[in-house]
């Protein structure tokens, strides 16, 4: 198991290298640079030259890459052009903000969507099934920014139960921090229910049509036993994979939700950095996101044997 995990991590290195090179090159292919953005229409040739020199943008691209990559090998992602902060601590602090929302939302969504999908498949074509599928489609179709605004209007403005703007870290004040996280979590939770429920239902339907399920029923097993012991374990594989993909995707940043609820997370950092052409932060964020994605999917793969003994690390 350990060897498998290490192999997977080593295999990720070429991926991360490709990400590093392509992000470095691609972001510089986009017109505009941070120096001219910082000075705007106030720029004079002298002030622009000063700032470019200070930011190291006056050096050739290969030299810039060599410096950045050399620092990267030492674990130093550099300094943000906008905020002049070291990038790695900045990314890590923003990541934890996003992660606490994403992990809770996906966990809750999985706990609701997977059993609901199982039941919908079990009761296929019934009113319950149609209702659940319709609800899932509806939740999936609503853009997260709009769903967020609806929640904000209802729970924040109409009922006045939850704060509409601002952010308090759970570390600073657990209760208030929790209140500020309720709506972002609820937004993601509702959206991901739609995604996961449809997958859980579809994969369960496939399994329920297989012969061994008919055999289990013919043996006289209760429907609960058929569903839980025989159908669920086999049907959960594709949903589990999807949970991994969703987690990897969301942990890379939930910029829209973070913007609506003024959450200082990783997604907002990345989007702001792109608009500001803050090259080192963009590069650092993209590498971090790629690494997170690889790591999450590794964990997902390592967990397969827990519910499907046919899958082994080998």
- Cα gap 78→283, rounded to integer Å: 10
Q: Which C-beta is closer to other proteins: that of 37 or that of 303? A: 37
Closest distance to other proteins from the beta carbon of 33 (Å): 7
Q: Would you mind telling me the total number of residues written for the chain in this entry? A: 314
Using rule CB under 8 A, residue 269 touches other proteins = yes
235, 138 contact by CB (below 8 A):
no
Closest distance to other proteins from the beta carbon of 288 (Å): 16
Per-residue contact flags (x/-) with other proteins for residues 236 to 265, judged by CB under 8 A: -----------------------xxxx-x-
Residues 6 or more apart whose Cβ sits within 8 Å of residue 280: 68, 77, 78, 79, 80, 81, 87
Q: What are phi and psi of 86, to 5 degrees?
A: -60, 135
* Chain Cα centroid distance, residue 180: 19
Cα end-to-end span (Å), the chain: 8
Binding residue (CB under 8 A) for other proteins from 56, 115, 156, 237:
156
Using rule CB under 8 A, residue 26 touches other proteins = no
- For residues 51-70, which are near other proteins according to CB under 8 A? 54
Residues 6 or more apart whose Cβ sits within 8 Å of residue 21: 65
Binding residue (CB under 8 A) for other proteins from 85, 126, 214, 312:
85
Tokens 């039941």 sit on residue? 119
Instruction: From 56-64, 77-85, 119-127, 225-233, give the range in contact with other proteins by CB under 8 A.
Output: 77-85
Q: Whose CA is closest to 12, among 294, 288, 302, 303?
A: 294
Instruction: From 2-10, 15-23, 25-33, 235-243, give the range in contact with other proteins by CB under 8 A.
Output: 25-33
Q: Which C-beta is closer to other proteins: that of 38 or that of 128? A: 38
36, 48 contact by CB (below 8 A):
yes
CA atoms within 13 A on the CB side of 41: 0
Using rule CB under 8 A, residue 143 touches other proteins = no
Q: Which C-beta is closer to other proteins: that of 70 or that of 264? A: 264
- For residues 164-223, which are near other proteins according to CB under 8 A? 164-167, 175-176, 179
Q: Which C-beta is closer to other proteins: that of 40 or that of 75? A: 40
- For residues 96-115, which are near other proteins according to CB under 8 A? none
The token pair at 38 is: 């910082």
- Cα gap 97→106, rounded to integer Å: 15
Site residues (vs other proteins, CB under 8 A): 30-33, 36-47, 50, 54, 82-85, 90, 94, 149, 152-153, 156-157, 159-167, 175-176, 179, 259-262, 264, 268-269, 272, 275-277
């Amino acid at each position: 198991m350990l060897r498998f995990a290490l192999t997977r991590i080593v295999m990720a290195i070429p991926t991360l290298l490709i990400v590093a090179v392509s992000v470095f090159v691609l972001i510089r292919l986009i017109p505009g640079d941070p120096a001219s953005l910082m000075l705007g229409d106030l720029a004079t040739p002298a002030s622009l030259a000063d700032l470019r020199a200070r930011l190291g943008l006056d050096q050739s691209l290969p030299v810039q890459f060599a410096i950045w990559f050399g620092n990267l090998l030492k674990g130093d992602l550099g300094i943000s052009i906008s905020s002049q902060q070291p990038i790695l601590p900045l990314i890590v602090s923003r990541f934890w903000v996003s992660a606490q929302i994403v992990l809770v939302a996906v966990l809750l969504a999985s706990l609701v969507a997977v059993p609901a999908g199982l039941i919908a498949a079990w009761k296929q074509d019934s009113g319950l099934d149609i209702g659940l599928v319709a609800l899932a489609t509806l939740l999936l179709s609503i853009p997260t920014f709009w769903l967020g605004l609806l929640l904000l209007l209802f729970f924040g403005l109409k009922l006045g139960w939850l704060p509409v703007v601002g952010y308090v870290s759970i570390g600073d004040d657990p209760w208030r921090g929790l209140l500020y996280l309720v709506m972002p979590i609820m937004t993601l939770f509702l959206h991901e229910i739609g995604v996961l429920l449809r997958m859980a239902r579809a994969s369960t339907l496939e399994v329920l049509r297989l012969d061994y399920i008919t055999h289990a029923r013919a043996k006289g097993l209760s429907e609960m036993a058929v569903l839980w012991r025989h159908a669920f374990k086999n049907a959960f594989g594709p949903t589990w994979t999807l949970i991994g993909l969703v987690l990897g995707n969301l942990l890379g940043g939930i910029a829209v939700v973070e913007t609506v609820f003024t959450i200082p997370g990783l997604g907002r950092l990345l989007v702001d950095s792109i608009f500001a052409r803050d090259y080192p932060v963009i590069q650092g964020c993209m590498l971090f996101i790629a690494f997170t994605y690889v790591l999450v999917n590794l964990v997902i793969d390592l967990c397969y044997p827990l519910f499907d003994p046919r899958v082994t690390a080998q």
